[in-house]
Amino acid sequence: MSLRIRNRPIRAGWLVRRDRRHGLLSLAVVAVAASLAMAGCGQRQAPVPAAPPAATAPPVASPLSRSTVPPDESVPALSEVLSGPIVDDDILSRSLDELNRDSPLSPVFFGVDSAELDDAGRAVVASNAATLSMYPTWTVTIEGSCDERGTAEYNLALGERRAVAVKAYLVSLGIAASRVQTVSYGKEYPFDAGHDERAWAQNRRGHFVITGK
């Protein structure tokens, strides 16, 4: 059997050989493509595993942020110890007669016909209040006295006002009223038996007597 292409006869055997060549060429192309693909795969670099996160050191507390041990509140502060009363053991060992013979409490002096405390008198009462605060079991009597001039009745009344004035200021400074008694001797029992201004000034007073300890 024969065909004619462009007026030329084509044999069936030639067509078979042409088909075989085409098939072989296709196989060769496929093989080359496969080889290239495999080569490409072989050249790919393996993925690099991600580095693990760096370990972080635990935060270090600064010296200022570290907790401190709370102070023991049962231990008194130094300021409290220093500000506390300083008690004289020698005074505590004395009898009442000895204390009043050399008294730690000073007398308060007044002007003529006056029962008012001046600055010096208030300073004396404040000092006596501090002493009484150091010895809280002590009790006292304030004796109001006058000079020899004037009647006995007048001086008794004036002596009472003086004693009451000293007590009132003492109580205002924090001394309990129950620890303080008052009495007036007027012009009786003068501290100085003289008859001049110096003696009279010594007798116009509010005198402290320690009556209990």
Rounded to an integer, what is the distance from CA 126 to the centroid of its chain? 30
Asked if residue 204 and residue 114 are part of one domain, the reply reads yes
Nearest to 211 by CA among 105, 62, 68: 105
Q: CATH number of the domain at 110, please.
A: 3.30.1330.60
Give the domain extent around 33.
Answer: 2-40
| Those residues with Cβ within 8 angstroms of residue 171's Cβ, 6 or more apart along the chain or in another chain | 177, 180
Are 117 and 208 within one domain? yes
**Are residues 93 and 36 both part of a single domain?**
no
Q: Could you identify the residue written with the tokens 């003068």?
A: 190
Residue 46, in any domain of the structure: no
- What is the structure's pLDDT at 105? 98
* pLDDT tens-digit map of 131-162: 999 999 999 999 999 999 999 999 999 999 99
Q: How far is Cα 86 from Cα 157, in angstroms, rounded to an integer? A: 38
Per-residue pLDDT of 5-55, as tens digits, reads: 444 444 445 444 555 555 555 555 555 555 555 555 445 455 555 555 555
**What's the pTM?**
0.60
